[in-house]
Chains A and B, each alone.
Chain A
Amino acid sequence: MHNILNPYAVIKTKVVQVITETPTIKTLCLRPEIPFSFKTGQFIELTVPGIGEAPFTPSSDPARHDEIEVTIMRVGRVTEKIHQLKKNDAVGIRGPFGSGYPLELFKGNEVVVVGGGCGFAPVRSLMYSLFAISSELKKLVFRGGCKNPHEFLYKQELIGWTKQKGLDVRLTVDKVEKKGDWNYDVGLVTTILDDLKVDKSKAFAIICGPPIMMKFCTKKFLELKFKEKNLYLSMEKNMSCGIGKCGHCRIGRYYACKDGPVFRYDTIKNNEDIWE
């Protein structure tokens, strides 16, 4: 027998806390057996022993190496099992995979971050990383949207950001059912992009959310005269192996797992099915 590093093997990881965020979303705080680090925007594969694995972008601060958090919506076979996990359960993780956000490139520039729905998870990790370099950013703008106040992920934390000095934040929901539930904007997230006080020919925009939201936000940013090469999108594809071999997450000449999942819009715009 000889041993070699195995990209399919998992690191044993303990669930140290389970936070119920919304009726369909939970955050797991995970403590891997060995130190684990990632760059914001990279993703991990989370294994429920014997059930299978699924890809998630951590929602926690990459500066922390002892614990990582993943925020997970219950949508399928594996996430259903993940939602049943309890404190002290053991899971496996692999990774990190992908290229992450180009933080160095953002330094000295105006940066607009737009999150929507479950897309707040990767975006929260990105925002922590941007807060850490905020003195090097020309400007940081955050725009967040969700269907309703009820399902607004990290609601209290994001509302907290609206009061943060030097940070331009607006939050919106598509619909409010009861008056008094929501004291911020109402309407699609594209409606709170009109007032951006940035130099549109130079500013960067990062969009993460459901495909339909990313599609219309991209359209909006292009109308606002943002440059195609300054738009960064998080593509949700069926990333499985994480290392560009299993073939499931191909976008044109790229694999979302290896070359993404964060892509510069101009590099993928010619592929017909990017919004599916």
Chain B
Amino acid sequence: MYYLPEQNLHIVLGNLQESYNVYIPEKKNNTLYYTLFSSKHNSYSIDEVRACEPLKAFFFKAREKVAENYKPAASHMNTKPLCIVGAKACDLKGFKVQDYVFLTDEFSDPFYRSMREENLIISADCSTALDTCFCMALGLKPYPEKDYDLNLSMLEKGCLVEIGSEKGETVVKNNKALFQEVTQAHKQQKIKIRDRVQKHVQLNIKNHKIPKESSLKNRIKKNYKGAFWKPEAETCVECGACNTICPTCHCFLLYDQGDAKKMARLRVWDSCMIKDFARVAGGANPRPELWMRLRNRFEKKFDFFPEVLGINACTGCGRCITACPAKIDIRKVLGRLTGNA
């Protein structure tokens, strides 16, 4: 572990620009959004909480050309790889799901793969929590424990840097003079902040009566009927905001454009809440009712992924709670599923 004074961190980020497109969270109207870093930048917020947009957007783009004419290979613009600064523990869990979908088994996705293999992830501890944060109910801590190249614990005038990979180690080596030794006071400051944020998230969990992760097992199978799901879906307007904002949602639509001479295949984010999502050309639809689609969303996250990957595909980031115009609250649905509410 190293200590990196604030002005030195700025220099390191500047140096990283040579090999990476460095993205950093910046506050606009009280919300954090990722923006391209430049040395002139001085208003970024590496700590605080997760940004508004899910990190999947950098790797599995909302809209991307994935094939052209009859070209057999995937072509990629030769842009610099990505460096994401300030990714939070919940964001890293999102990668777990996306990586499983796009990188495992015989057909890995060449677009996602090249972006992920080359990226540099500099994560950071949360220094506060939103009212909608509940990561600790899903087995996470509000600070990254693994799956990063470097992790930053922001302190008053600098940060503690933890190395998580060889790639991260190289960054430290290349900027060795900028890094300093860690003092006991630094360590205590870090522990103090981490404790404070954990208490905040735990209070959220208590206030919103969010069930423990262990109690979620098989709950959807036990509450499979419309009697449970119809009231939950009553206010849903089928906008798909919960899907687009979710760091683990990965469904997409292949969409063709052009004509016989020049054609392009686009991959765009899709939403399982939309009526035609699973409909087949003949007209049969396994989920014609909205409540069935809401149930399917929960099944996918809390049945399917635990079964195939061993984790719930929810990070407790709370983005869907804020995004939903119908005020469907995943915390409350989980509470009712487990009989907690």
User: Chain B residues with Cβ under 8 A from A33's Cβ?
Assistant: 70
Contact A276 B285 (CB under 8 A): yes
User: Of the 9-residue stretches A62-70, A75-83, A149-157, A171-179, which lies at the interface with chain B?
Assistant: A75-83
Seed contacts A49-B263, A246-B270, A258-B105; 17 additional CB < 8 Å A-B pairs: A1-B75, A1-B76, A6-B67, A8-B265, A9-B67, A49-B258, A50-B259, A52-B254, A52-B255, A53-B256, A90-B260, A236-B282, A241-B254, A244-B107, A247-B250, A252-B304, A273-B287
**A243 on the B face (CB < 8 A):** yes
Residue A5 at the B interface, CB < 8 A?
yes
Q: How far is the CA of A28 from the CA of B140 in the complex (A)?
A: 54
Establish whether residues B71 and A211, one from each chain, have CB atoms under 8 Å apart when the complex forms.
no
CB-nearest residue of chain A relative to B255? Answer: A52
Given A11-B70, A75-B281, A253-B308, A241:B76 Cβ within 8 A: no
Chain A residues, CB < 8 A from B258: 49-50
Question: Which of B3-11, B184-192, B193-201, B272-280 is the interface stretch?
Answer: B272-280
User: Are B284 and A211 in contact, CB atoms less than 8 angstroms apart?
Assistant: yes
Chain B interface size, as a band, is 35 or more
Complex CA gap A110/B64 in Å reads: 49
Cβ-based interface call for B56 (8 A): no
| Bound form: Cα–Cα A89–B261 in Å | 12
A-B contact pairs, 18 of them (CB 8 A): A1-B78, A2-B76, A2-B78, A2-B114, A3-B73, A4-B74, A4-B110, A5-B74, A47-B256, A49-B259, A76-B282, A77-B281, A241-B254, A244-B101, A245-B102, A245-B250, A247-B250, A252-B304
A272 at the A/B interface (Cβ < 8 Å)? yes
Best-surrounded residue of A52, A53, A245, A272 (most CB of chain B within 10 A): A245
Query: Of B67, B280, B288, which contacts A237 at CB under 8 A?
Result: B280
Cα separation A50 to B263 with both chains bound (whole Å): 5
Query: Contact between A240 and B287 (Cβ–Cβ < 8 Å)?
Result: no
* B256 engages A244 (CB within 8 Å): no
Given known pairs A8-B254, A245-B102, A246-B253, the reply for A78 and B72 (CB within 8 Å) is: no
Tell whether, in the assembled complex, residue A238 and residue B70 are in contact, meaning their CB atoms are under 8 Å apart.
Answer: no
Contacts of A276 in B (CB 8 A): 284-288
Give CA–CA (A1, B113) in the complex, Å: 15
Interface residues of B (CB under 8 A from A): 66-67, 70-78, 101-102, 105, 107, 109-110, 113-114, 224, 250-260, 263, 265, 267, 270, 272, 277-288, 292, 300, 303-304, 307-308
Q: Using a CB-CB cutoff of 8 Å, which residues 233-274 of chain A contact chain B?
A: 236-238, 240-241, 243-250, 252-253, 258, 272-273
Question: In angstroms, how far is the closest chain A Cβ from the Cβ of B279?
Answer: 6
Q: Which residues of B contact A78 (CB under 8 A)?
A: 281
B308 and A6 contact, CB distance less than 8 A: no
Max chain B C-beta neighbours (<10 A), residue from A10, A73, A236, A247: A247
Q: Which residues of A contact B71 (CB under 8 A)?
A: 6, 9
| Distance of A7 Cα from B112 Cα, bound (Å) | 12
A142 to chain B, nearest CB (A): 24
A245 and B114 contacting across the interface, CB-CB below 8 Å? no
User: Considering only CB atoms, which chain B residue lies closest to A276 in the complex?
Assistant: B286
Instruction: Please report which residues of chain A, range 65-122, place their CB below 8 angstroms from some CB of chain B when the two chains form the complex.
Output: 73, 75-79, 89-90, 92
Q: Which of A11, A12, A249 contacts B278 (CB 8 A)?
A: A249
Most A Cβ at <10 Å: residue of B67, B102, B252, B286:
B286
Q: 1/0 per residue A208-252: CB within 8 Å of B? A: 000100000000000000000000000011101101111111101
A26 CA / B155 CA spacing, docked (Å): 69
Nearest CB in chain A: distance from B184 CB, A: 48
Please tell me if the beta carbons of B270 and A247 are within 8 angstroms of each other in the complex: yes
Partner of B260, one of A50, A211, A244, A248: A50
- Do B109 and A7 have beta carbons less than 8 Å apart? yes
Chain B residue at minimum C-beta to C-beta distance from A74 = B281
Q: A51 near B: Cβ within 8 Å? A: yes
**Which A residue's beta carbon lies closest to that of B71?**
A9
Chain B CB count within 10 A is highest, among A7, A73, A240, A249, for: A7
